[in-house]
Amino acid sequence: MTDRTPTSDKLQIITHGCRLNSYESEVMRDHAEAAGLSDAVIINTCAVTAEAVRQARQSIRRARRDNPDAPIIVTGCAAQIDPTRFADMPEVTRVIGNHEKMKAETFTSAHLMDAPEKVSVDDIMTVRETAGHLVDGLDGRARAFVHVQNGCDHRCTFCIIPYGRGNSRSVPAGEVVDQVKRLVARGHKEVVLTGVDLTSWGGDLPNTPPLGNLVARILKLVPDLPLLRLSSIDAIEMDEALFELAVSEPRFAPYLHISLQHGDPMILKRMKRRHSREDAIELTSKLKAARPDIAFGADLIAGFPTETEEMFENSVSLIEACDLSFVHVFPYSSREGTPAAKMPQLERKIVKERAARLREAANAALERHLKKHVGEIRRVLVEAGGQGRLADFTPVTGLPDALPHGEFADIRITGHTDGRLTGVIQ
């Protein structure tokens, strides 16, 4: 995902990657505007794959062509992990780290434009706290994102992200509740809790409260919030309180994006994942039995080192076994410095071919999911451009332009096209 957000006549923020990056770009926008920073381009990079890094560098070159005289400031995970690679680009004015980008003082001219050093990137592993930042919502978004956790204590063999985000840190519950109250007061109908490893929230706080405690507190203390959504969960870290809320609380969105990555038992071990194939199937089966309208999404990696055809087929079959409706397929991308990069690699053409086959299975699953909705009357959160989403995250298209952006509307679903539902207003 890449967002190009003009925040004023001259200041631009280009965001690559995850929802957390989108949230942090909004924080940077507030800091930059408060500091009077203008005539600049801020590029918030992603490092999840080598392709993401390539796209970030491409954005930098494009930004320089489009803005020949503007300072270009590069930040985000790719800049945190390899700042020199970006500092060496002649198009780049400054490189700042993931910790630095969240500080208001970073964006004053004395700290940013007039700094003698081109690079300002701290050791992210030394960061111990994550501050809650109050924002009024994301520009152009119907739903609001709240940053509750950052970093990751796990070291999956394929993943570079902990080196860009550091170890797990939690935003205290009180700060999270204040932010949700602020967003609801401004009219947001849906709030999404987001983090790098969301279900590890609370592990570094006094008494180590689980994520379910935070969700329960939000729902209790913000009764006017219509819909609360989680950005993702880990299959092995869903605590009992969170499970009960997911299956019984009407204001808990009936959709969970589960971090699965693969469907083969041996590959999961080689990835150093903490869940098994059986764990994933058991969790989704229990959730579906208790709340039949719940839908699931997941990330799956095709072509992981040592993956055989049989192992790959276990990922294909996992889509149906876990009743996944929304699957994001990643062709394996070797990241320098990770243990998986040292394992025997598959030929690139095999990786691409398996990713294509996995996408075919994912598209078939989405088709089945969409067909189930035809004939129903459902509530949709209206987004820009005639788009929207149901509570179970199913996308809707063709909504009347007159519908107010960010409000709910009831539709009778009549069909689907290009992976989205269509319908008529009731």
At 7 the pLDDT is 45
Question: pLDDT tens for residues 174-201?
Answer: 999 999 999 999 999 999 999 999 999 9
Digit-coded pLDDT (tens) for 124-168:
888 876 655 555 555 456 789 899 999 999 999 999 989 999 999
Tell me the C-alpha distance between 387 and 31, whole Å.
30
How far apart, in whole angstroms, are the C-alpha atoms of residue 189 and residue 64?
Answer: 38
Provide the pLDDT confidence category of residue 111 given band limits of 50, 70 and 90. low
| Among 198, 199, 163, CA closest to 19 | 198
* pLDDT per residue as tens digits for the range 357-401: 999 999 999 999 999 999 999 999 999 899 999 999 999 999 999
Angle subtended by helix axes 240-248 and 211-221, to nearest 10: 40
Tell me: pLDDT of 241 over 90.
Answer: yes
So what's the pLDDT on residue 120? Answer: 87
Residue (of 315, 287, 288, 298) closest to 258 by Cα position: 298
Q: What is the pLDDT of residue 5?
A: 53
Whether residue 43 contacts residue 72, with contact meaning beta carbons closer than 8 Å, is answered with yes
Both tokens of 7, joined, read 């925040």
Supply the DSSP symbol for 69: T
- pLDDT, averaged across the chain: 92
Q: Which of 284, 289, 291 is closest to 251 using CA atoms?
A: 291
Q: Per-residue pLDDT tens for 311-369?
A: 999 999 999 999 999 999 999 999 999 999 999 999 999 999 999 999 999 999 999 99
> What is d(CA 391, CA 295) in angstroms, rounded to the nearest whole number?
9
Q: Give residue 3's pLDDT band: very low, low, confident or very high (50, 70, 90).
A: low
Other beta carbons within 10 angstroms of residue 288's beta carbon come to 16
pLDDT number for residue 140 = 52
The most confident of the ranges 9-18, 87-96, 108-117 is 87-96
pLDDT at 134: 52
Separation in Å, CA 46 to CA 29, 49, 114, 268, 329 = 18, 8, 26, 24, 17
Q: What is the pLDDT of residue 131?
A: 57
In Å, the largest CA–CA distance within the chain is: 63
| Structure confidence at residue 9 (pLDDT) | 55
pLDDT at 2: 61
Name the band, by pLDDT with cuts 50, 70 and 90, for residue 248.
very high
Q: Are the beta carbons of 112 and 94 closer than 8 angstroms?
A: yes
Per the model's pLDDT, the better-predicted residue between 55 and 132 turns out to be: 55
